[in-house]
Structure 1
Amino acid sequence: MGEPRCLVEVDGQIVMPEDINKCDVNNTLYMAADSFDITIVNDDLKSDWFRKKQQVKVYFGYVNNPAEWYLSDLTHVHTGIIDGVQPKWGKQNGMIVELIGRDYSAPMIDTQNSYAFTNWTSSQIANYFAQKYNLKPIITTTDSSVESDVYQSKQEWDVLQTCAAREGFVCYVTKDLELYFGPRQESDNTVVDTISMVGNGISGSDMSFDDSSVGVYNKVTVRHYYRKQLIEGSAQNDQLIASMGSQIVEKVMTNAKATTPALANQLASNYLHEYSRQAITGSFNNIPGNTLYIAEKKINVVDAGRFNSLYYIEQAKHAYGKQNGYTCSLSITNIRPDDAAQYKQDLYPKKRYDVSNSGYVPKGTI
């Protein structure tokens, strides 16, 4: 596997890897922003250079030769914006500076919508915000205009998420500064890793499962506003309703494919099969780091008895530290999660780093 490494870039300037005490990246689903928390050695007062709103890129991975490695050996996992710069002095850690921030959905999360999108479609609204925040639009075109309650008295990100839910879409900002607004992608069904409960590398990990009735639905209703008309269809599991004391637990969802009542009924039946299952959730802490662990991707769990299964990742925390190396902590579920994520030229003395070929040259080699 090689030696774990982390690299942080702030406004295009490389933070020396040996100066990174800790770097955590929290990858979540769509309503919340992905976030970072980075602690850096501050003996030379790098805190004088760091500023709010600077761009941060984070890379994780493993290198075969710790004495000579390059940025291209690592995987880009996060791009965000600094929300806070916190220099600290202490007996135990000395002089450090902590950088906290979120991905590029953060400005929309923080901003109240002030625009009236009268007779606009959902995709037109998504394109408006992509242009406003200089994001590359990856947007599926929609054809029906939205109602005023979609965009009035809401934060901008809430407007986008409401539009996405209305169309049966998902919406998020990628690490490559793309605004994705469209159907869930087929690649989400790819199994990114197999985790053995008795495999190598998990001896220092904490893992648990919870077999729960929470999140189980016995009725599903699918709705969609098509050509300004409400299309609706439902399906229910009568046996499950009886076993739950005749109490109906309904999940109402939107899907742009529901253009006729018959299609809405069929979609509701398909979703019922998934949402009427017993929910099994799990928590994996401090397992070996893997850059493929991303919210809503799948993992395969083996050697866990009846809990052997495919699981969706609800939340993935990537952590790097000088003592523990690169680890991940995951929250998982067997049911697909709801859709609801310049000042100073040189940070270091000249020639301490070289990124002319996207590479990092360790100290002492030049």
Structure 2
Amino acid sequence: MPFNLSLAEREHAGLKRVLPAIDRVDGRWLHAGGRQYLNFAGNDYLGLSRAPELLAATSQAARDYGAGAVASPLVAGHQTIHRQLEHELCDWLGLEAVMLFSSGFSANQAVIKALAGKEHTLWQDKLNHASLQEAGWLSPARMVRFAHNDMSALEKKLKPAAGLIISEGVFSMDGDTAPWPGLVELARQTGNWLMIDDAHGLGVLGSEGRGTLDEQGLAASDVNIFMGTFGKALGVSGAFVGGSRALIDYLHNLGRSYIYSTHLPPPQAAAVLAAVRLVRSANDRREHLRARVAQFREGVAALPLQLLPSATAIQPLVVGEETATLRLAAALKEQGLWTGAIRPPTVPKGSARLRITLSAAHTRADVQRLLDTLHCVLQA
């Protein structure tokens, strides 16, 4: 098979992915190869991954329940701690019912493959996450992609009561948000179902961190399917799907990645439960994060790079060419700053970028160090 040739071509084009050898991530610090770096490449937006409450909950649950769930949820894996987490999520977000997944990727796969038949159409934003788009391609449904956040383009493509409209809350590579009032209205007018993937909005936007819908004056009940993850602002890992009790019962029966996977480890569920309770009262962390975002955006205004319009923790600096992006990331790394160099096919060709992510764990001095170093390496 020609995989060696393919890898060589990717390396020549600056597109080869290499797994970094990281020793550990400790709050805002990343340790690798005997060095310490300020981490501007993670998704721990509220700085909760090392919160004492989460560590204590994890340890206690390991003692109470063991390290693993030992079975799939529908056999013997769904335990008291999982039910407690589901109830807390419903209370927090105003959902009728939820179910837990090991990852956002498996959650999106389960939903789309279970719901979309050959008689359905999936309308997806062109910048939707790979898990959503891949599930659409693998389903028997017809998939139609519409121009990013373009409601008039979507309206022209929609057919009445024919399927499911899917978009993200906060887009993972651009950091902007979808116009959810417009999406809700189009779904109502056409009788189509509506799904939000709010992986990057949950915890940081809205009252009590309820996410993008709340931030834009909507409720969870304004969409049919609410997916969120625990590996971003909540600082753990895993995901959930929420909606009506009928929807969740249906997915319990037909969501293959749920049915045929060992359940979320109880210590992980306990950590997420502790994180949700922290997030609901984390207004100070959200305010601090907003201040760091504003500081960064003001500081890069004079740089010879395109800063995409994002008010969230995701701040993309578009370099354009792939090898130039890698060189810039390497120069920052030399100065003790770890950033993400994002290249095609994750982003469109010609839009390779540094995906700078900010956290409530970052101090004003941390962000200033990043700004000063960016100015220096770009002038060198």
Same fold (TM over 0.5): no
TM-score, normalising length: structure 2: 0.20
Higher relative contact order (CA 8 A, sep 6+): 2
Larger radius of gyration: 1
Name the structure with the higher helix share. 2
TM-score, normalising length: structure 1: 0.21
Name the structure with the higher strand share. 1
